[in-house]
Structures are given as C-alpha cells and as structure tokens.
Structure 1
Amino acid sequence: MKLSDKTALIPVDMQQAFDHAPWPKRWNDKVDANGLSLLSAWRGAGRPIVHVRHDSVEEGSTLGPGNPGNAFRPGFEPQNGEPLVTKSVNAAFIGTDLDLRLRRAGIDTIVVFGISTDMCVSTTVRVGSNMGYKVILVEDACDCFDLADSDGVQIAAADIHRAHVATLRADFAEVVTTAGIVSRI
C-alpha cells in the first residue's frame, strides 16, 4: 500500500555522540546505511522530512550544543531548507513545535527512525500515536545500547531493541523495514 502525501519522515537523534564513550555498545551496524537510504528515497520523492536533534541541557553531556557529539552523523544533516526541531527531553513533541509544524503541513502519518529505539525513538512514537498521528516505525533503521538491569546484569542491545519494537507494534505503530517502506513511496 502506497504512503499518502500526508506522510513525513522523522529522523530522531542521528548524532555523532553515540559512537563514543560514555555511550555503551550498540548493536545495529546498518543503522546509518538504512537511515541514509530512507533520507535518499524521501528526498527523491520530494516528501517532507523534519529532523530531530537532542540538545542536552545536562552539564557535561556529549549531546550538549557546541560539543562535537551534538553534530549530526555524516549525511544526516538537514538539506535544502528541511526543518530541524531541537529537543532536550526524550519525546520530540515535548517542548518543541513539531506538532504545530506537522499539522500546518497537513501531515497525518509519521515515519520514525533513529537512536535510540528504547528511549527517544520509543517516546516519540508513543507520544505521536497518543496525539493522533498514524505512526510507522522503521525497525532496521533504529539502534540502541547494551544496558544493565537492576541487578547489574547486562541486557544485550539487540534484545532491548526487539522488546521495545514488540511493545510499539502492539499498541503504537506499524513496524516496517527500510526496504518495505521505501517500496511504498
């Protein structure tokens, strides 16, 4: 089924900080290639893109404005006037004008990908769904980190990703692959 003209791509926090300490190990070595494929397809079709960047307000954060880690990963920078929304919390809709931008553009469906699946991507998907948008999550264009549970036992990033995608699929979003969504443009 083709995507409607009222569909926007929302790359979330595709930033350089996530490649360096103190960030833990990630699992998806195809996150950049898949994300760049999405951007290329969207741009080629002339469809709307709204970039989201995390501008941390926490002292010493690698995601703080002016720090090298705050910069976009190579190829993920907004181009040709594509709008940028900056946030300081997990959800791209909280404390930003993302909802206003999307509604003014007549957008009713958002396609979301980025870093990290279990935090800013998941929160953006959940809030967007609760606000009435049809949400599509591109699971193979997301990434997350190994994390310790309350007993200090490491949970592999791939397992965290899989659990969060399952939860989002159950109630908040249609879940697709990069190839699957590109074929619908």
Structure 2
Amino acid sequence: MTPDSGAPGELVPAATALIVIDVQVGFRDAAHWGRRNNPDSEQNIQRLTQAWRAAEMPMVVVRHASTDPGSPLHPAQEGHQLEEYVEGATALEVVKSVNSSFHGEPDLDAWLQAEGITTIVVCGITTNHCCETTARVGGNLGHRVLFALDATHTFDRTGPDGRVLTADELALATATNLHGEFATVVSTRDLLEAIPRLS
C-alpha cells in the first residue's frame, strides 16, 4: 500500500514534487502512435505546472531519449523536444531511455531523498507505460505517489491475441492497477484544490 501523507487529510504537502513525464513534441505524431484518448490532458498538465510554479513547489521534467533511430522521441528527431508549456525553470530534468523515470540520469530517487521529498505527483505521457511504471517504481521505493489520471493520455494498443484495447480501456486498467496498491489516483481538480497557497 502507499505510504501515509505527512498530516491527516493533507493531500498535497508543501514539499510535493510534480513529475512531468515525456511531454514531448513527438507524441503529436498520430501516424506513429495511433488513436489517443483524453484530449484535455495537455490542458490539465499545463494547469498543474502553472500551479506548481506559482506555489514555488518542486517540479521535475522527465524527457525520453529513445534508442530507436526511427522513433519520434530519438534525440536526433525534432520530436525529442519538450512541448513549450513545460519548458522553463524546473528543480530537475531527468533523461531516460526506459519506462521508469527512476531509471534515468540524474538519479531521481537520490534527488528526492536529498531534498526531503516523500510525496510525488505523476502526470504526462503515456498513461500505461512511462507514467504507470514510474508510479509503480516510486511506490516500491517508499514514496507516496499521487497519480493524476486526467493529466495523462495514451494510445490504442494491440495485444498478443490481436485484440485492440482502446486508450480509454488502458487508462482504466492503469487506474485499477495502481489505486490503493502503488498510488492514489486523483484528478487535476483534486490537486489544484489541495495545493498549498502562498501567504
């Protein structure tokens, strides 16, 4: 189960890091990725990043550097670039080539520990790959993980039996897998209402 928060009823302690995962131009490529869900995800991610910056809370931006030269996320491709709305001052930028943000450079877990941060909020792309994997690993490492489901999106995917699961079905499976085991699934609205206000 997920660790308890620092204070009863406190969803977002002041030292909560927003982890913004793989919000990169390459995910615009519908021909490569297929049909997606949640057209509001970008707006929700932007609302969270703006709120974190306004509250002067720590934000980590994670960028995927694919090792496949044909991927839109390969460093040689324009798609490797971050979307403009997540660019700017951040506490840390992590570069990874696998699904987990905890397996990139610099070491995210070591940085969180050094900063005394025990609660993280996960948002970004894609729901059932890098976001879910980061939440799972973060929970296993002992962090309290809040998963902002409506600030993520994903794409339809074909299973080993040839059946296509829609992006919405995959997002529901992620929420079901994570909630109460690796993370607490929350909404952007939940987070914005709970974020500490500057005096």
Local SS of the residue matching 2:52: helix
TM-score (normalizing by structure 1): 0.95
Superposed CA deviations along residues 31-82 of structure 1, whole A, max 9, x for unmatched, are 10000000011111000001101011123221011311111123011x2353
Task: Structure 1 unaligned segments of length 5 or more: list them.
Answer: none
Local SS of the residue matching 1:183: helix
Task: Structure 2 unaligned segments of length 5 or more: list them.
Answer: 1-8
- Off by >6 Å, runs of 4+ in structure 1: none
Q: Which residue of 2 aligns with 1:70?
A: 80
Q: Which residue of 1 aligns with 2:138?
A: 128
Tell me which of 36, 39, 42 is aligned to 2:52: 42
Tell me which of 148, 152, 165 is aligned to 2:162: 152
Tell me which of 9, 16, 41 is aligned to 2:25: 16
Superposed CA deviations along residues 65-117 of structure 1, whole A, max 9, x for unmatched, are 1311111123011x235321000000000143111111111100100011111
- The reply to whether residue 107 of structure 1 matches residue 117 of structure 2 is yes
- Conserved 8 A contact 2:63-2:93: yes
Measure, in 2, the Cα distance between the counterparts of 1:15 and 1:135.
23
Distance apart, 1:149 and its partner CA: 1.7
Local SS of the residue matching 2:110: helix
Tell me which of 143, 155, 175 is aligned to 2:185: 175
Measure, in 2, the Cα distance between the counterparts of 1:31 and 1:95.
24
Residues 117 and 46 of structure 1, relative CA distance in 2, 3 Å threshold = same
Measure, in 1, the Cα distance between the counterparts of 2:115 and 2:52.
16
TM-score (normalizing by structure 2): 0.89
Measure, in 1, the Cα distance between the counterparts of 2:104 and 2:160.
30
Q: Which residue of 2 aligns with 1:4?
A: 13
CA-atom RMSD, angstroms?
1.2
